[in-house]
Amino acid sequence: MGILEILTFPDPRLREVSKAVTKFDDSIKQLAADMVETMYAAKGIGLAAPQVGQLFRMLVVDTRPRDESGSRYNYEEMTELEKKITQPLVIINPVIIKGDGKTTFDEGCLSVPGFYETVERFEKIQLQYQDVNGNKHVLETDGLLAICLQHEMDHLEGKLFIDHISFMKSKKIKDQIKKFGYPTKDDKDDEKENTKKEKVEA
């Protein structure tokens, strides 16, 4: 199948609660491979199955710096815990079994492209999940990987990062998108000139 279409807000499928994966068959493995390919093609750091219209509790992440734009997230900025984890990761039926501390990050989302808002998350998490073969694992991480995993897990509940910000800010963004659609590539280029920090979407 290859690269999949990424749904954008206000698509109603992004508001559904996704179902647990119970059969770890070839179609799940194919979906995982396609999601990784789609995430890389979109230059995202994470992607959840409902973002491609598949309502399964499944997500992929890769928060490592990329060759084309190493500046977006420096290797030196990765935490020791993050560096220990092999990425890309395919995470199925995830559950946070422990969350510690608080951190904030300017989050973006492939399903709300061009918008970035500061969201608060656990700083460090312990996550129980299954791999594509159904084997159970527990990982512990912090840094951008922990933030990204929490962002993707929200998608499985039909929740978006713009639901975490103040009601007025959230309403403003949602109304703007519904009225005018998403910023064009030219708008984004203008914005980039004004912001030093590279933004990431997931």
Q: Work out how close the CB of 173 gets to Co ion at its nearest, in angstroms, rounded to a whole number.
A: 14
If binding is defined by CB under 5 A, does position 21 make contact with Co ion? no
CB of 14: closest distance to Co ion in angstroms? 9
Our finding on whether 109 is near Co ion (CB under 5 A) is yes
How many other β-carbons are positioned within 10 Å of the β-carbon of residue 33? 15
Query: Is residue 145 at the binding interface for Co ion, with CB under 5 A as the rule?
Result: no
Active site residue 120: no
Task: Please state, in angstroms and rounded to a whole number, the distance separating the CA atoms of residues 192 and 54.
Answer: 32
Closest to Co ion by CB, 46 or 143: 46
Side-chain-side CA neighbours of 14 within 13 Å: the count stands at 20
Judged by CB under 5 A, the stretch of 86-94, 106-114, 163-171, 182-190 that binds Co ion is 106-114
Closest approach of Co ion to the CB of residue 39, in Å: 11
- What is the spatial distance between Cα 49 and Cα 31, in angstroms, rounded to a whole number? 8
Q: What is the number of other CB atoms lying within 10 angstroms of the CB of residue 141?
A: 23
Could you give the angle at the alpha carbon of 187 between the alpha carbons of 184 and 190, nearest 5°? Answer: 150
Confirm or reject binding of residue 35 to Co ion (CB under 5 A). Answer: no
Q: Which residues bind Co ion (CB under 5 A)?
A: 109, 202
Q: Which residues are catalytic?
A: 152
